[in-house]
Structure 1
């Protein structure tokens, strides 16, 4: 809560936006929910938004897959989110109005009906904005030349997919991330732990899935996280030097070091 109170004190903008970045399965959603509860305990009007809830619809991603690159059918990388929707939510909250918060149904791989979106309070004071690439910056062009894994080597040999994602990140996403008042990074010890963390998430999803829901097996999870490897590794190398708070995690997600820049 220290970062929340500092942002509330130092900025006149409401709501203050607390960005929380972390690799898949790092515990960022759990932490955001805990901070949301702490805000409630202190009578602060707060809401939570995940970048995952801003994914384009399945139909929109299929259109991108046809028009730009087949890998864009898979949700995840920059270019597969509705950035304008995220900005609209923040703009509405800044006007002091209540608004519905988008929700994405991962089990069905599509945006949930708007009737199922929760309401953010009027005069919201704190917005917790969490996600695997929240606050990320684009890579330089030379870093895109070489594939980082077998997925890129086999299915993006000409770098069209990763270049599209990088261009999107350098453009519209920076307008969204510029609204962040404090940036917190949950730093994984390395990308090698992400598979196990993501497997735990999928098993939990399977326990609550309906018969028609899409649940990935181990091979599908390995392929899925390969879409995230490039930017996750870039974030782990670049973001610690500028995030307001870095929580270094071990393989069990236990904090081993906390570093504050302000």
Structure 2
């Protein structure tokens, strides 16, 4: 998506101030997922992958509630909870590339925290699950992390969970205006891809099962992210947020890896739920 196209889309959208968040998922889907999970030996670590706005956090919360209703112990850990804090990212921005100041792309997470949580859950040990304060742009103090013990199920959700790195040849050409104008030499995208190849496979390998929420294409991410922003601003009017132009630029940070997820995860995930542009389920299997 070019900056001109993004601006055109932004101008064309007239969005109500109380835009809806992702709707609850059907109970039949939640029950089917949970039934599959409880067939395995506890504890299970279940990955939910989906591009921004697909409703993965909503689904994870519903699965936890359904598990608890069955007398199971369940909790959620998000890839977002593993973010490097602002100071650490600023160090990367100064030493590697300015675009690394933005949290979210591969290389801006402390993967070791996730691995430690997976190991502790599998060992049945008391586990503190990391949490990240997005407004403060810093990790919540460890003393305030939720302490869980004896989990039957840990759900791990994130926008690029399970996604493999691209081959080096795929990095030559920019995929959008952000890469063309702000990463002309390819330093940022090569660094992020190297991190995805080096650091994240161990995390993906720690999943017992992986579900991919597959949207119709990357193009819907802008619309869905804008919906999320309006919903958050309606719920928290004092919260500073991004306008449509800011969101258009922001989602370009994630376009390359998102498109890689769309290419690869349907063949790698244990289950795929296909969505249309309205987030209605087209198929599940």
The two structures have a TM-score, normalised by structure 1, of 0.92
5+ unaligned residues in a row in structure 1: which ranges?
Answer: none
Structure 1: distance between partners of 2:197 and 2:254: 17
2:279 corresponds to which of 253, 256, 259: 253
Residues 61, 210 of structure 1: alpha-carbon distance in 2 compared, 3 angstrom cutoff: farther
- What are the Cα deviations for residues 92-132 of structure 1, in whole angstroms up to 9, with x where unaligned? 21221222211222233332333442222x11111100000
1:82 corresponds to which of 97, 110, 124: 110
1:38-53 equivalences under 5 Å are 38-53=66-81
1:170 corresponds to which of 163, 172, 197: 197
Aligned 8 A contact 1:4 1:18 in 2: no
Query: What SS does structure 2 have at the residue aligned with 1:191?
Result: coil
Structure 1: distance between partners of 2:195 and 2:133: 23
Structure 1: distance between partners of 2:178 and 2:274: 28
Residue 113 of structure 1 corresponds to 141
Residue 145 of structure 1 corresponds to 172
Structure 2: distance between partners of 1:32 and 1:6: 15
2:258 corresponds to which of 216, 228, 232: 232
1:97-246 equivalences under 5 Å are 97-120=125-148, 122-209=149-236, 211=238, 213-246=239-272
Structure 2: distance between partners of 1:185 and 1:229: 17
Structure 2: distance between partners of 1:171 and 1:224: 25
Question: Which sits farther off after the overlay, 196-205 or 67-76?
Answer: 196-205
Question: Which sits farther off after the overlay, 245-254 or 95-104?
Answer: 95-104
Structure 2: distance between partners of 1:183 and 1:152: 30
Q: Is it true that 1:6 corresponds to 2:36 in the alignment? A: yes
Question: How large is the Cα RMSD of the aligned pairs?
Answer: 1.6
5+ unaligned residues in a row in structure 2: which ranges?
Answer: 1-30
Residues 113, 200 of structure 1: alpha-carbon distance in 2 compared, 3 angstrom cutoff: farther
Structure 2: distance between partners of 1:214 and 1:67: 28
Residue 19 of structure 2 corresponds to none
